[in-house]
């Protein structure tokens, strides 16, 4: 058994560490995940965590430290709202029967940090989203139904476990779907999507095709005019989406044999090895996960359009994790596992 290296380690006769929380989390205020658990079991990865590791400091802050911004950036919140709506529209077992798009916007806006103003409107970005999805429904783009937010877990001997969710599976899980609400639909190509889709193909051996649907966020091209009433703006976006459906809604399909899955498995192995190396070198301390301070890593595109700066930029600039800007996130429930019946939290 490896000798403990975690700076917060306290021996306990009944569990790996006094601060240990099953399965693999940490109760100590400095950490979210148990360093000793990662060392023994290897890091559990997801597509998002692999992408985050392009900056090791960001990986530590988000995945080991467990921090997140108190107020998420607008593109991230819009993406969350769009995802919630799409889950409902495409689910073969919807949460709410016969819900209108207005009902869905109202129902999910609060969860994503949006509130009504004094005149009863959401921010114009949300009202634009509302209009785009009105057109989406009227054009019958929501006709495809399946299992939305389909959970997966992939693991082979010699590789770390990879977990996550796929936006939708249908046709007996032979076809997968990925939805992107974005201002930059041309940013999604086979090259830029290869890591994400390779992860999904590994996770679901039955899936032979993935269709990536981009849904245009129009706020970059259809501006809210000075003194324009929100309801007028909302109708203007709606009419434009109805008139130009091919501009707003684009599908591109990719097939399993287009991707080198063995190469992707090697990449997964390499990322896990790098994470373990950083942990061993610095005993899990944040400073061992160095910051790649370049415009590319500090100012990235998100899956939902221009994301602005990294959410942890202030922490890196000041060296302080401010409680007014960041909070510790709660574990995400993944279970129960169909085989063991145990609930997973990551």
Could you read off the pLDDT of 220-235 as tens digits, one per residue?
899 999 999 999 999 9
Could you read off the pLDDT of 89-142 as tens digits, one per residue?
999 987 766 779 999 999 999 999 999 999 999 999 999 999 999 999 999 999
Mean pLDDT across the stretch 204-211? 95
Could you read off the pLDDT of 153-186 as tens digits, one per residue?
999 999 999 999 999 999 999 999 999 999 988 9
Q: How far apart are CA 110 and CA 61, in angstroms?
A: 26
| 255, β-bridge pairs | 209
Counts of helices then strands in the chain (DSSP H, E): 12, 11
| 106 or 335, higher pLDDT | 106
pLDDT band at 295; cut points 50, 70, 90? low
pLDDT band at 304; cut points 50, 70, 90? very low
pLDDT band at 1; cut points 50, 70, 90? low
Mean pLDDT across the stretch 19-32? 89
Q: How far apart are CA 143 and CA 86, in angstroms?
A: 11
- pLDDT at residue 308 tops 70: no
Q: What is the pLDDT, as a whole number, of residue 284?
A: 85
pLDDT band at 337; cut points 50, 70, 90? very low
Give the DSSP letter string of 150-210.
Answer: EEEEE--TTS--EEEEEEEEETTTTEEEEEEEES-GGG--HHHHHHHHHHHHHH-TT--EE
Could you read off the pLDDT of 60-100 as tens digits, one per residue?
999 999 999 888 888 889 999 999 999 999 999 877 667 79
Query: Token pair for residue 257?
Result: 């044999």
């Amino acid at each position: 058994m490896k000798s403990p290296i975690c700076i917060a380690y306290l021996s306990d006769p009944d569990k790996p560490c006094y601060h240990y929380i099953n399965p693999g989390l940490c109760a100590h205020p400095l950490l979210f995940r148990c360093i000793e658990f990662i060392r023994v079991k290897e890091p559990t990865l997801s597509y998002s965590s692999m992408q985050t590791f392009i900056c090791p400091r960001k990986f530590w802050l988000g995945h080991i430290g467990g921090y997140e911004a108190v107020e998420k950036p607008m593109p991230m919140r819009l993406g969350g709202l769009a995802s919630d709506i799409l889950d409902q529209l495409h689910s073969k077992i919807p949460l709410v029967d016969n819900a209108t798009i207005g009902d869905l916007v109202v129902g999910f806006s609060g969860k994503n940090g949006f509130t009504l103003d004094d005149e009863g409107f959401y921010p114009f970005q949300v009202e634009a989203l509302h209009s785009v999805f009105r057109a989406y429904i009227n054009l019958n783009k929501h006709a495809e139904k399946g299992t939305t937010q389909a959970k997966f877990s992939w693991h082979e001997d010699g590789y770390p476990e990879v977990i996550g969710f796929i936006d939708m599976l249908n046709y007996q899980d032979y076809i997968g779907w990925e939805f992107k609400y974005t201002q930059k639909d041309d940013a999604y190509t086979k090259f830029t999507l290869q890591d994400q889709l390779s992860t999904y193909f590994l996770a679901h051996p039955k899936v032979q095709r993935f269709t990536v649907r981009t849904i245009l966020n129009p706020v970059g091209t259809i501006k809210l005019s000075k003194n324009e009433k929100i309801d007028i703006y909302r109708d203007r976006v709606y009419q434009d989406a109805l008139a130009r459906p091919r501009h707003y809604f684009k599908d591109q399909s990719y097939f399993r044999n287009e991707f080198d899955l063995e190469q992707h498995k090697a990449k997964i192995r390499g990322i896990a090895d790098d994470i373990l190396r950083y942990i061993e070198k610095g005993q899990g301390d944040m400073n061992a996960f160095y910051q790649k301070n370049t415009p590319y890593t500090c100012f990235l595109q998100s899956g939902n359009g221009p994301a602005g700066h990294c959410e942890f930029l202030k922490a890196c600039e000041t060296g302080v994790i401010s409680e007014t800007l960041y909070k510790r996130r709660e574990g995400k429930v993944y279970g129960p596992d169909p085989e063991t019946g145990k609930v997973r939290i990551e």
